[in-house]
Amino acid sequence: MDVVNFAVGKLIKYAEANMELSKYDVAKLRFMLEVIFLNTMEFFLYFVIFAYIGKLVEYLIAFGVLMSVRIFSGGFHFKKYRYCVIVSFIVFAAVILVLPDVSRMHGVMEGLLLISLLLNIALAPVSKRNVRHSARSNCKVKMTSTIILLGYIVFLLVARGNPYASIITWILFIQAVQLIIGKAVILYAANVKQPMSS
C-alpha cells in the first residue's frame, strides 16, 4: 500500500504542477489512480496464483465476466482494501475450484441466471455509500448492465456445451448477491444516520 501511496502522490504532484485542478478534481484523480493501481496489483497477484495451479484461462474468463458487469452494476465495497483482496480471492477460488458444474444440471443454471437478471434489474447500480448519481445516470447504467447480462445469458443458453458455462453462471450469480449486500449496507447506513421515528 505504501508503494501505491508513493506512486499516486507523485502523479498527483505532477498533475497539480501541470494542470489547473480544483480540490474536488484532485480528490477524484487520487481515488481513480488508487483504484487503478490497487486493482492492477490484485489482478496480477491472482494471475500468478491461478497460472501456478493451472487455472489461468478459468481465472481470466471469470475476471473478464465479473468486471464487464460490475463496472456498471456496482456491488458491495469493503472499507479496507485488504478485505476486498481476501474476499475476491475466495470468490474466484470458489467459482473456479469448488462450486459444482451447474451447466449440466437441468434447470439450475437457468434458475441462477434468471435470479441474477432479476436482481440486477431490481437493484443495480449499487455504488459506494458516499457516491450519488442522477436518476437518468442510474437508468443508463442499469440498462447497460442489464444488456451485458442478457448477452451472457443468451450466449450461455445458445452455447450449452461451453466448458466455461458454469464459471460464467456462478460469477454472474455471485455478482448479483453482491448487489443485495451492497444495497443492504447502504440502507443500513442511511437508517443509522436518520433513525426512523416511532
Q: What is the pLDDT of residues 15-55, one digit of tens each?
A: 889 988 888 888 888 888 887 888 899 999 999 999 999 99
Residues 77 and 168 in one domain: yes
CA quadruple 172, 86, 76, 38: dihedral, nearest 10: -100
User: Could you tell me if 14 and 60 lie in one domain?
Assistant: no
Q: How far apart are CA 158 and CA 168, in angstroms?
A: 14
Size of the chain in residues = 198
The answer on 79 and 46 residing in a single domain is no
Locate cell 468486471: which residue?
67
Residue holding cell 506512486?
7
What digits encode the pLDDT tens for the residues 115-157? Answer: 999 999 999 988 765 556 677 888 898 899 999 999 999 999 8
Record the pTM: 0.84
Which range of residues forms the domain containing residue 4? 1-52
The answer to whether residue 75 is domain-embedded is: yes
The total number of structural domains in the chain stands at 2
Q: 17 and 45 share a domain?
A: yes
